[in-house]
Amino acid sequence: MGENANEVPQEEEEDQIVNPFQVTVKKGEKIDYDKLIDKFGCQRLDPSFVERVERVTSRPPHVFLRRGVFFAHRDFNEILDAYERGENFYLYTGRGPSSEALHLGHLVPFMFTKYLQDAFKVPLVIQLTDDEKCMWKNLSVEESQRLARENAKDIIACGFDVTRTFIFSDFDYVGGAFYKNMVKVAKCVTFNKVVGIFGFTPEDHIGKISFPPVQAVPSFPSSFPHLFSGKDDLRCLIPCAIDQDPYFRMTRDVAPRIGYQKPALIESSFFPALQGETGKMSASDPNSAIYVTDSAKDIKKKVNNHAFSGGQDSIEKHRELGANLEVDIPFKYLTFFLDDDDEVEHIRKEYGSGRMLTGEVKQKLIQVLTELVERHRKARAAVTEEMVDVFMAVRPLPNMFG
């Protein structure tokens, strides 16, 4: 299957670096996803999968599946096989709460996970790695906990079902059965291996080096005795961005050695910055992304002034050559967020041939994004501290399946 948790992504020789702590490409280039799939050893999600998901769930597949945003997987076919046989699974995803300001790129995995929860009717655990951010971003413990709670509100606003969802922060939850699994995992991973997988150095503090098991063990149902007691064989599906693959390569390597099922993964590509694929989305540059707190005016301004256009320099040239859809950000964003396949195809044809101008595409994008952000804002406003407490309460979830 091409899995190799021992393989060191030879950073120095590669022109792209993708791991949980760093995503960079050679200047002026885009991420090569085919190369990445090859190197990591995961599988492509081909269109037959999308059809199968539609059949199995009896509902239209999510726009991210149709447009290839979620494009890679490990063992997703086994999850589907098992599901068709009547076996259940649970979902596991998470966020490192490093900032209060969430942008649309942050929401992508959560939007998809919500769809999976609704379509398959399965429970979900969401991990907030406040400890990780405390260590990597050098935040105080209190600040990282506070950010975790704030981020939890935006996550809840994505529409997760409280009767099927458990949100936890590492600082609150690590201990008990969870910690026992952490130790089991840690015993199976040598120092050399984590150095190989994550690129740690002797100068890194021991907090970092011992962190990987924390992100690994939510893949095992026994980490949540209040939810899955007695269901040690329950499978786990992890929707995440592809840079998280190393954590779960390590986890999949360890799982059989400690008597657990390997978690399955379904992975997404990166969400491009407003200024283009080669630009970096950065919390310090507000114009690199659309934030969930942006007003309609902000969105209009950002898209009009900062979205990288694949259109030609002059109208004549544009009519002649059409837009470069490979690099055009407004069109790219529309493929993420405009649900109507026919409309997207229409724009692809018209804009690509030069009949439609960039301004029109941008206008459509502004409308779509404004609606999305407004819907999120309203949902967010309805999330109270009490609701966060409840999502994070260690409580049983009866009826979590079906």
Partner 1 sequence: MGFSKELLLARLQELGIHFVSYEHPVVLTLEAQAKYVGHLGSALSKNLFLKDKKHRLYVVSALADTKVDLKVLSQRLGLGKGGLRMAPEESLQEVLQVPLGCVTPFALINESARSVALLLDQGLKAQKCLFHPLSNDMTISLSANDLDKFLISIGRSPSYVDLEAIVPVGKDQPPDLATLVPTEIVKSLDVPQQGTPIQIAAENHMPREKKLMELQGTEKISNKSKPAGDGVTKKPSGDKNPSTGVADVQKFVNEIMDKTSAILQAEVSEASIQKHGKQLGNVLSDTIRKRLTLDLENLVMTFKNTAYTEGFQSKIGSLSLHK
Residue 390 binding partner 1, by CB under 8 A: yes
Any long-range contacts for 98-103 (C-beta under 8 Å, 24+ apart)? 98/133, 98/136, 98/137, 98/139, 98/147, 98/283, 99/147, 99/283, 100/147, 100/150, 100/151, 101/283, 101/291, 101/293, 102/151, 102/154, 102/291, 102/292, 103/281, 103/289, 103/290, 103/291, 103/292
Residue 98 binding partner 1, by CB under 8 A: no
Among residues 8, 321, 382, 394, the one that binds partner 1 under rule CB under 8 A: 382
Among residues 159, 196, 279, 352, the one that binds partner 1 under rule CB under 8 A: 159
Of 8-16, 270-278, 285-293, 362-370: span binding partner 1 (CB under 8 A)? 285-293
CB-wise, 74 or 306, nearer to partner 1? 306
CB of 106 to partner 1, least distance (A): 14
Residue 95 binding partner 1, by CB under 8 A: no
CB-wise, 349 or 375, nearer to partner 1? 375
Residue 26 binding partner 1, by CB under 8 A: no
Cβ density class 321-353: b for 16+ within 10 Å, e for less = ebbeeebbbbbbbbbbbbeeeeebeebbebbbe
The encoded tokens of residue 13 equal: 């020789």
CB of 256 to partner 1, least distance (A): 37
CB of 338 to partner 1, least distance (A): 13
CB-wise, 142 or 326, nearer to partner 1? 142
CB of 320 to partner 1, least distance (A): 36
Among residues 12, 203, 342, 386, the one that binds partner 1 under rule CB under 8 A: 386
CB 258 within 8 A of CB 231: no
CB 335 within 8 A of CB 67: yes
Among residues 143, 204, 277, 360, the one that binds partner 1 under rule CB under 8 A: 143
Among residues 293, 324, 335, 367, the one that binds partner 1 under rule CB under 8 A: 293
Residue 295 binding partner 1, by CB under 8 A: yes
Query: How far is it, in rounded angstroms, from Cα 247 to Cα 184?
Result: 15
Of 9-17, 63-71, 141-149, 348-356: span binding partner 1 (CB under 8 A)? 141-149
The encoded tokens of residue 69 equal: 């945003």
Q: Let me know how long the chain is.
A: 402
Cα torsion 12, 14, 16, 20: sign: negative
Query: By rule CB under 8 A, what count of residues binds partner 1?
Result: 44
Q: Which of residues 299-328 bind partner 1 (CB under 8 A)?
A: 301-302
Q: Which residues touch 266 (CB under 8 Å, ≥6 apart)?
A: 45, 70, 72, 73, 76, 237, 238, 239, 240
Residue 13 binding partner 1, by CB under 8 A: no
89-95 vs 124-128, strand pairing mode: parallel
CB-wise, 42 or 167, nearer to partner 1? 167
Residue 399 binding partner 1, by CB under 8 A: no
Query: How far is it, in rounded angstroms, from Cα 353 to Cα 330?
Result: 16
Interface contacts to partner 1, rule CB under 8 A: 100-101, 139-140, 142-143, 146, 150, 153, 156, 159-163, 283-287, 291, 293-295, 297-298, 301-302, 375, 377-387, 389-390, 393, 395
